[in-house]
Amino acid sequence: MTFNNIIAVCIFLAPFAYSPGPGVMFFAVNTARSGFKKTLPAIAGYHIGIVVFTFCFGLGFDFFVSRFELILDILKYLGSLYVLYIAFKIIKAGFGSDSKGESGITFFNGMIFIFLNPKVHIVITLMYTKFNDLGNMNTLIYTLILTIIFSINNLISVLIYSLSGNAIGNIGNNKISKFRDAFFGLSLVLIAIWMMDVVELVKKLFFT
């Protein structure tokens, strides 16, 4: 893979990585509520999951694509239910509670979310479909390069949104925090609905 090809992959991924989506908004909301440091384990888990999933997906690309619609349907519901579960935990904790004193989402929370985020799977599929000319390069090396590019793009994006969420979380007093926590919980509910809408849109574009 040439330097120009690497730049082309980065340009292709940029709109997907840096535009609002379920993954970055999930971390922005949780960072705003619990703080950036307490969300770092989940961010680490999320991106370790990205590396593993993207690499394995590349090696078994044909298998995944042949079953892509079924996989999307499964992830649509599992991912949305998982985000609703996190939203329920925030709401149950009580609006205006001392959220900064909570432990925050865990390494496991972050890792499991990558496997339940359909947008990530869609973008990975598009990436491997568009950039599938290996030339004389070994398949493992080619897949590893794409995995690294994809993972770094996602890491930068998540850090930007998480730090922005952290800044929002530091604004306001106890009265404002009551409404802010309500907004965080409802935001995750909307993200869960959004995840299902993204899947339906892709199915209409690619399977009808």
d(CA 111, CA 184): 21
Specify the pLDDT at position 92. 67
Domain count of the chain? Answer: 1
pLDDT number for residue 137:
81
Assigned domain for 176 exists: yes
State residue 88's pLDDT score: 77
Whether 140 maps to a domain, the answer reads: yes
Q: Return the pLDDT at 155.
A: 94
For the chain, 208 residues long, give each residue's pLDDT as a single digit of tens. Answer: 778 888 999 999 988 888 877 788 889 888 888 889 999 999 999 999 999 989 988 888 666 666 666 776 777 777 778 778 777 776 666 544 555 555 668 898 888 888 888 778 788 888 888 888 777 788 899 999 999 999 999 999 999 999 998 887 777 655 666 666 667 677 777 777 766 665 555 555 544 5
Considering only CA atoms, which of 47, 52, 53, 11 is closest in space to residue 155? 47
The reply to whether 6 falls in a domain is: no
Q: Which is nearest to 198 in space by CA: 10, 12, 25, 11?
A: 25
- Asked if the structure places residue 13 within a domain, the reply is no
Residue 50 has a pLDDT of 93
Cα Rg of the chain, angstroms: 18
| Residue 168 structural domain | 21-207
Is residue 99, in this structure, part of any structural domain at all?
Answer: yes
Q: What is the DSSP letter of 90?
A: H
Residue 47 has a pLDDT of: 94
Please report whether residue 170 resides in a domain.
Answer: yes
Q: Do 71 and 57 contact (CB within 8 A), yes or no?
A: no
pLDDT at 159: 95
Look at residue 10 and tell me if it is in a domain: no
Tell me what pLDDT residue 40 has: 93
Return the closest-CA partner of residue 57 out of 135, 155, 146: 146
